[in-house]
Structure 1
């Protein structure tokens, strides 16, 4: 359906540059503009686009309240496209409105950029940082979250010091000095950059990543060693080899039949029993709210780990001890990256719905729009 529009004679016209009324017309060009469909019919408007001879700005387009300059869709169509893109992919929105996917992406990008604007970084005290996979081949991006207001402040490609430095430059020295604590995994680049820019901030290491590291470096290594030791006993070796997730999962999350199997395994293998019990005791460090008690618990745990006689466990103690200050900081700042991990799961959904993103800027705007915060 084609509708041909004509300018109203004698109507007052305004310059799109200075909003001043202008009577003189410099030239006119016929433009084809897409509008909202009428039932199942696509609607196209033929609009004579006027350039006014503004004495202040020179030749400028006439201001139209329903049409942005240099855009081939009406504002109301753009608003509906952006609303649909909030819940579905660009491809599906393009099919629904009968537009090219590049046009739909440009509409949604402009809408997000205009509505979100630059992030409000005033009053930020508590941060959480984590990485997420952006592409295959170990390509990562970093997300920084305001832990108090639960909103995404910044997303950037990479996880090195140089790649996360732009966030702290955006934050500025004064606001960096107001940051009191930053929760993260044991990423050296994050740690060094926080200490370089935020002199008053304490680094807080997250329970999830420490326990995951314990599972990889201790439980998996001891389980493999025990399986190799039982090479002559095929049934026992098979039980140990297939027990990885049984040992890594929390006991309270196991079904009844798996709980019985776990108890039988631990009763039959002393090394696995030792590392399993020490895993549960290690988690208790994050339950303390007084640093003195947490320090005593760490000394007790370290003594038992070193006396176990298990080499992977001794190596883990030596590697973990330099990070002890960040673990004990959890007593004063009970933060974790669980909020960021939840955001990372949502990011995976956003990426999956769109079948991936090739434009980082657009992808990062979609992430910020999904987590506007608590106000």
Structure 2
């Protein structure tokens, strides 16, 4: 079919020259019309001189279930500013191999579906879809105003199996994810402070984290004026792993000749780790019976509640008295895992005390980490960690 007069709104400035149905889809040849002035694709300036012509093959939106291929004749112009350049086309980006509306369609569905599903939906190659999605994400992040954080929250999440982790850093005030990087060592998070720069590092007043020595040392090096605040959840979780679990295993081993009682102790892990107010009513008698029958488990369970009290005082002298009482009780308990935990916790007292001045925690990051897990499951994992980190930052742009 040849028709130089057939104009359609999809392809502004062009008319259909040829139409062909093939096995792999519909092929449409487009030639430029002379209705609009020629503009440079680089600076949008009006150009008068045509330097040459060439053809480009482009994918467009599917029509009636058939893939649409466009063979577009483009003109190369002579621009006073840019030199030799291609003409500006409203529906086709510079150097693009897909039309703008197809790119917008892909970007829209990439917000809701994994890349592999969008590939099946559009018939595009995986790399093409990911490139379109990456450009969209980079555009969103570039449009955000420059972050000026004063309080940070830092945490880690599992990136792959085999104890491979990534670190996520959040603006605690705006809830914007500022940075994501692979690893949880000092070297892994150092690029964040290089990105932040000396001026913004001086603005940081407090940083909430778990008892990660690498995080602590790196923050103190780059933000010496900032106070490190240790999160209650992580301290209690560490207590559960290092004290309650260890004492439970030791008591089960001690009762190896009393098999019924040994099984009761061995199977009580989640019962002991739960807060008493969260224990189901039907399990409460079992917990009370277990604690009454085992002095070591009773002591560690009570000391867990006492540990939480260290985050509740409102006056420094109250906190100091509660801190000294807890350390003395841990030391006097004669329970080796508890004594060892108290000794390890002692150097971190400033970070626990800082909670009174800076009532911060990493709870916001825990919620973000849960959503990150959902993103990983939806995509069946990511081949490119940098692309995954880009999606995380775009998913949490912060509150306006």
TM-score, length basis structure 2: 0.91
Alignment partner, residue 297 of structure 2: 272
| Deviations 1:61-117, CA, capped at 9 Å, x for gaps | 111121111111111111111111011100001111111111111110111111212
Q: How does 1:141-180 map to 2 (within 5 A)?
A: 141-180=166-205
Alignment map for 1:192-231 (pairs within 5 Å) = 192-231=217-256
How far, CA to CA, are the matches of 2:205 and 2:304 in structure 1? 30
Instruction: Output one character per residue of 1:214-245: Cα deviation in whole Å (capped at 9) or x when no partner.
Output: 11111111111111111111111110011111
Which secondary structure state, in structure 1, belongs to the residue aligned with residue 40 of structure 2? coil
| 2-structure distance, mates of 1:373, 1:212 | 28
Change (3 A) 1:120 1:127: farther
Match of 1:246 in 2: 271
Aligned to 1:130: 155
Could you tell me which residue of structure 1 aligns to residue 125 of structure 2?
Answer: 100
**Count of equivalent residues:** 375
Residues 109/122 of structure 1: CA separation in 2 closer, same or farther (3 Å cut)? closer
CA–CA distance in structure 1, aligned partners of residues 147 and 364 of structure 2: 21
Quote the Cα distance in structure 2 between the aligned partners of 1:254 and 1:42. 58
Q: SS of the residue aligned with 1:5?
A: strand
Distance 1:91 1:122 in 2: 33
1:191 aligns with 2:216: yes
User: For the Cα contact (< 8 Å) 2:154–2:169, is it kept in 1?
Assistant: yes
- Conserved in 2, the CA contact under 8 Å of 1:122 and 1:175? no
Query: Matched residues in 1 for 2:250 and 2:143: separation?
Result: 53
RCO (CA 8 Å, sep 6+): is it higher in 1 or 2?
1
Q: Is the 8 A contact 1:34 1:44 kept in 2?
A: yes
**1:244-275: per-residue Cα shift (whole Å, max 9, x none)?**
11101112222112112111101111110000
d(CA) in 2 for partners of 1:30 and 1:107?
22
Alignment of 1:23-34 (within 5 A): 23-34=48-59
Q: Secondary structure at the match of 1:213?
A: helix
Q: Of the candidates 316, 336, 353, which is equivalent to residue 341 of structure 2?
A: 316
* Bigger mean CA offset, 185-194 vs 254-263: 254-263
CA contact (8 A) 2:229 2:351 kept: yes
Partner-residue secondary structure (3-state), 1:159:
coil
Aligned residue in 2 for 1:332: 357
Residue aligned with 1:27, SS: strand
- The reply to whether residue 300 of structure 1 matches residue 333 of structure 2 is no
Q: Deviations over 1:281-318 (max 9, x none)?
A: 10111122322212211111111111111111111110
CA shift, 1:56, in A, is 2.9
Runs of 4+ in 1 over 3 A off after TM superposition: 118-122
2:140 and 2:394 in contact (8 A); partners too: no
Q: Is the 8 A contact 2:210 2:235 kept in 1?
A: yes
Structure number with greater Rg is 2
Give the conservation status (yes or no) of the 8 Å contact 1:121–1:171: no
Instruction: Tell me the equivalent position of 1:374.
Output: 399
Q: Over aligned residues, Cα RMSD in angstroms?
A: 1.4
Task: Please say which of residues 5-14 and 205-214 is displaced more in the overlay.
Answer: 5-14
With over 3 angstroms needed to count, the CA separation of the structure-2 counterparts of 1:88 and 1:115, relative to structure 1, is: same
Distance 1:206 1:372, change over 3 A: same
SS at 1:309 equivalent: coil
What is the DSSP-based 3-state SS (H/G/I as helix, E as strand, rest coil) of the residue aligned with 2:330?
helix
Match of 1:291 among 299, 316, 319: 316
Worse-matched range after superposition: 252-261 or 262-271: 252-261
Structure 1-normalised TM-score? 0.97
Change (3 A) 1:121 1:14: closer
